[in-house]
Structure 1
Amino acid sequence: MQFAPLYPFIYKILKPSFPNCLWIGNPNSQNIALTFDDGPHREYTPKLLAVLDHYKIPASFFWLGVCVNRAPEAAKMVSSRNHWIGLHGYEHHNFPLLSPQELRNSLEKTQSVISQTCNIPPEKIRDVRPPNGFFTPKTLKLLQQWNYRPVMWSVVPEDWVKPGINIVVKRVLNQVQNGSIIVLHDGYFGGQDVATTVETLIPQLLAQGYKFVTIDKLKST
């Protein structure tokens, strides 16, 4: 079952209930953020970067530590282009199912792997996106206690179930608005099509006047 039609409604319900998460940027600005989860991937991420390079688009990546270990060269390619990098956990485990110590270990281990691979100070890797968007108030309290910022989304086209590039693009165009945080995937699930999806999507968003920024430059409201 695909949940793509429900995500816009889920977002509207969750955003006011959990204001400490970054859900969207400034609604009065046409700045939007293109974000990618589940990478890096040794094949899909370089292809995606080629498209971003072509259009000179900055993006934000939320990485799994295990994937950084598998594809360190792809990770270095992302970092060398000054894209923003955040955490997605060491493996794709739902945060609420982990004990507090397991969650902290997962984040710190991923932070360390990224820091060592990409030569980024650990204190600059503080944004966290929970796998599958699953969290609880306890999860958020722990993240705040450990000085991490939870980053969510406002546009979820469900590309990981591979509904087809045209459908993914249409879903994004139907949902995008000022300040949107768009989530796509460059990992094992969804990454096969990500370069073509982005290559199709970027010109249409630019034509509508949107400007791409990284998560750190997307002002929360």
Structure 2
Amino acid sequence: MQFASLYPLVYRILKPTFPKCLWCGNPNSKAIALTFDDGPHPQYTPELLAVLDRYNIKASFFWLGVCVNRNPAIAKTICDRGHWIGLHSYDHRNFPMLSPTELQQSLEKTQAAIHSACNLQPSQVRDVRPPNGFFTPETLKLLHQWNYRPVMWSVVPEDWVRPGVATVVQRVLQQVQNGSLIVLHDGACGGQDVAATASSLIPQLLQQGYQFVTVDTLWQQAALR
């Protein structure tokens, strides 16, 4: 079952309920963020990077620690090209299913994998997107207690079920607005189409006057509001 039509409603409900998460950027700015979950992948991520390079776009990647350990050279390439790096857990287990100790270990193992591949210190990688978007108030309390920054989304085209590139692009274009935080996937689920999706989507968004920024920039803009 697909739930793409429900995500805008879920966003409108959750955003005011959990204001300490990053859901979007400044509604008065044409700055938007392209974010990619579940990588790095040995095939799909390099294909995506070629598209981002073509348009000189800086994106934000939320990594699984297990995938970083499997593909350290690709992780380093992403980092070296100036993209923003965040955490998506070690192995994509839903946060509410983990004990506090297991959750902390999952994040720290992912930071360690990133440090080994990219030489980024743990303090430099503290943005966290929960797998599947699942979290509880207790989850957020722990993340803040451990000095992580929870990052959510405002545009979810459900690309991981592979409805087709044209459908994913259409969903994004219908929902995008100033400050949008767009979620796509470059991992095993959905990554097959990510380069084609980005190749179609980016020029259309540029034509509409949007500027691509990283999640860190959206945080900075949010702090200034």
Interval of TM-score (by shorter of Structure 1 and Structure 2): over 0.9
Query: Deviation of residue 70 (structure 1)?
Result: 1.0
Write the distance in 1 (CA, Å) between the matches of 2:83 and 2:44: 16
Query: Deviation of residue 173 (structure 1)?
Result: 0.1
3-state SS in 2 of match to 1:193:
helix
Q: Which runs of 5+ in 1 are unaligned?
A: none
The answer to whether the Cα contact below 8 Å between 1:127 and 1:151 also exists between their aligned partners in 2 is yes
Runs of 4+ in 1 over 3 A off after TM superposition: none
Match of 2:30 in 1: 30
Match of 1:20 in 2: 20
Amino acid at match of 2:160: W
Query: Deviation of residue 72 (structure 1)?
Result: 1.1
The answer to whether the Cα contact below 8 Å between 1:38 and 1:63 also exists between their aligned partners in 2 is yes
Match of 1:206 in 2: 206
Write the distance in 2 (CA, Å) between the matches of 1:187 and 1:76: 16
Match of 2:215 in 1: 215
Match of 1:50 in 2: 50
3-state SS in 2 of match to 1:187:
coil
Query: Deviation of residue 119 (structure 1)?
Result: 1.1
Write the distance in 2 (CA, Å) between the matches of 1:148 and 1:59: 20
Write the distance in 2 (CA, Å) between the matches of 1:180 and 1:3: 19
Deviations 1:132-170 (A, max 9, x none): 000000000000000000000000000000000000000
Write the distance in 2 (CA, Å) between the matches of 1:152 and 1:85: 14
Write the distance in 2 (CA, Å) between the matches of 1:12 and 1:130: 18
Write the distance in 2 (CA, Å) between the matches of 1:55 and 1:134: 32
Between the aligned residues of both structures, percent identity stands at 72
Match of 2:149 in 1: 149
Match of 1:109 in 2: 109
The answer to whether the Cα contact below 8 Å between 1:42 and 1:73 also exists between their aligned partners in 2 is no
Write the distance in 2 (CA, Å) between the matches of 1:77 and 1:194: 18
1:66-215 alignment, distance < 5 Å:
66-215=66-215
Task: Tell me, yes or no, if structure 1 residue 65 matches structure 2 residue 65.
Answer: yes
Query: Deviation of residue 174 (structure 1)?
Result: 0.2
3-state SS in 2 of match to 1:86:
strand
Q: With structure 1 as the length reference, what TM-score do the two structures score?
A: 0.99
Q: With structure 2 as the length reference, what TM-score do the two structures score?
A: 0.97
Write the distance in 1 (CA, Å) between the matches of 2:95 and 2:46: 28
Write the distance in 2 (CA, Å) between the matches of 1:139 and 1:50: 36
